[in-house]
Amino acid sequence: MPELPRIAIPSYMRAHLISDLTLKYLEEQDYPSSKIYIFVASEAEHQEYVRRIPRNLYAEIVVGVPGLKEQRNFITLYFPENEILMQLDDDIKGIKMLDPDETFLNLVDRGLQHLDQGGGLFGILPNDDGRKMRSRTTTHLAHIIGSFCILKNHKNLLLNITEKEDFERTILYFLRYNQVARYQGAGVTTRYTRTEGGLQTSPRLENMRESIRYLSNTYPGAVKGVMKKKGADIVLNWRYQSPVLEARLYLPPLPEDSSDTACNTDHP
């Protein structure tokens, strides 16, 4: 197995939870604590986390910045360009696998293999509903949940929204690599927004509408509007191709009587 990546966990007001959830899970899966970095929003939080989290569960607690988008971007800029990173949320209870013999470390290795073969972003299903699991990996535009992903770090792929920020990250990586990998044989078990605190604390409905508007206007064709029980929302368009790839796929044909000069014309 290749060297395990460092893990970045943004956390806000959850010193009482991260030890019992994400850090406990990583310890149970024998993930080396020397690879685990927790990012908090202030010096006061840093002191609280240091006081409450057992020292053997992490490598470093880093003082970043407030806000989910801002903290995600801080993490991107904190680590070196092209470093392979894993990003996790602080409220993960576990990862459910379709194959009972597959471990978390096996899953990480699967992601590392994808990146080694030229990919930039790897993820899994956004929940642990076993009925939706399949033993396959897709590479079309599909939502890569921010609570678990493995990526190649790029400092110029910065986020512009807080709500649905992982949708934007997915699109940005798809535009760069013409693919994102989502393994359908595993899914995240997490408490999401049901816990207090968290980086999502904000006037969420207003921010959600603004994020949906931003994504629709900024990445036309990549997102589609849908109606859900809670109101208007978006999904990613799995048929979407990046403009660079479309330009390559739909080059106009050469004239039938193309001369040697025409045949030697450079094409993108």
Residue type, 177: Y
> What is the mean predicted confidence (pLDDT) over 222-233?
80
> Strands, DSSP E only, in 34-129?
36-40, 60-63, 84-88, 92-97, 121-125
Tokens of 132: 């939706």
CA distances from 79 to 6, 8, 18, 132 (A): 10, 10, 22, 34
Q: What is the pTM of this model?
A: 0.86
Q: How far apart are the C-alpha atoms of 153 and 84, rounded to whole Å?
A: 6
Please report the pLDDT score of residue 236 as a whole number: 96
Per-residue pLDDT at 233? 84
In the chain, the N- to C-terminal Cα span, in Å, equals 37
Q: Which helix (H) or strand (E) holds 189?
A: strand 181-190
92 and 149 Cβ atoms separated by less than 8 Å: no
Amino acid (one-letter) located at 124: I
Q: Which pLDDT does position 1 carry in this prediction?
A: 66
Residue 44 has a pLDDT of 97
Q: What is the mean pLDDT of residues 205-219?
A: 88
Q: What is the pLDDT of residue 225?
A: 79
Which residues are within 8 A (CB) of 69 and not within 5 positions of it... i.e. 6 or more apart?
159, 160, 161, 162, 165
Give the chain's domains with CATH numbers.
6-249 (3.90.550.10)
Mean pLDDT score, 229-244: 82
Percent of the chain topping pLDDT 90: 74
| Beta carbons of 222 and 238 less than 8 angstroms apart | no
As a 3-state breakdown, the chain gives helix, strand, coil percent values, each rounded to 5, of 35, 20, 40
Residue 61 · residue 40 · CB < 8 Å: yes
For residue 257, name the pLDDT band (cuts at 50, 70, 90): very low
pLDDT score, position 192: 53
Confidence of residue 153 (pLDDT cuts 50, 70, 90): very high
Whether 88 has a pLDDT exceeding 80, the answer reads yes
Q: Which carries the bigger pLDDT value, residue 116 or residue 233? A: 116
What is the model's pLDDT at position 234? 87
* Angle ∠(247,250,252) on CA atoms, nearest 5: 110
pLDDT band at 54 (very low <50, low <70, confident <90, very high): very high
Q: Positive or negative CA dihedral for 128, 131, 132, 136?
A: positive
Using pLDDT thresholds of 50, 70 and 90, give the confidence band for residue 259. Answer: very low
Is 80 exceeded by the pLDDT of residue 26?
A: yes
Written in H, E and C, the secondary structure of 227-250 is EECCEEEEEECCCCCCHHHHHHHC
Mean confidence (pLDDT) of the chain: 87
How does residue 57 score in pLDDT terms, banded at 50, 70 and 90? very high
Point out the least confidently predicted range of 30-34, 187-191, 229-233: 229-233
Q: 172-209: per-residue pLDDT in tens?
A: 999 999 999 999 999 999 875 444 555 444 467 778 88
Please count the other Cβ atoms lying within 10 Å of the Cβ belonging to residue 238: 11
Cα angle: 247, vertex 252, 253; to 5 degrees: 135
| In the predicted structure, residue 229 carries a pLDDT above the cut 90 | no
* Res 253: pLDDT: 41
